[in-house]
Amino acid sequence: MTATPEATSPEANLVADVPPGAMAFERQDYLSLMLPVKKLSAPEIQQLSPIALAYLGDAVYELFIRAWYLRPPKRQKLYHNCVVSQVRAETQARMLRSLEPFLTPTELEILKRGRNAATGGPKRVDAAIYQQATSLESLMGYLYLTDPNRLIYLFTQLNLEPLESGGSTEL
């Protein structure tokens, strides 16, 4: 027996119902896939270090970038190149600067904590760039845990170019 369209839940076919050439994040449904699995209390979140938030935020940010570049379909190497170009510290620092006008005082404080916690970093990257990237990751981790809808809003404010419009794929 074949399932009728009415019997299939919208969540089951999130990717299938996106028109060819459409960007993956034109629909709220895709972003809701990133909601936290476990809800932490406010005191538990306050106990997390900025580095712990950055650790989580790094994964959240990369997941968003990976999902953004899913459409249109590409070869695996091109997927990889697209993602790597966007998750580099230099690009994250640029994304942070583009988001700053949208941030609340609390979010700016999270950025400051993340920036101050960033020590060391790769030798190929200037320390200030590394601190900015870490602060962005801290914010992403914090919002993932505290306000996923706000996180989704900020993701939609990022200046990501679709690959077809000249988005960089160089490493």
Say whether 58 is catalytic: yes
Q: How far apart are CA 12 and CA 22, in angstroms?
A: 18
Number of residues assigned to the chain? 171
Q: How far apart are CA 82 and CA 104, in angstroms?
A: 30
Residue 66 tokens read as 């990976």
- Residues near 64 by beta carbon (within 8 Å), at least 6 away in sequence: 25, 34, 155
Query: Could you give the count of Cα atoms lying within 13 Å of 50 in the half-sphere of its Cβ?
Result: 20
User: CB neighbours (10 Å) of residue 126?
Assistant: 13
| Catalytic pick among 17, 58, 126, 147 | 58
Burial 11-30 (b: 16+ CB within 10 A, else e): eeeeeeebeeeebbbeeeeb
By annotation, the residues acting in catalysis are 58
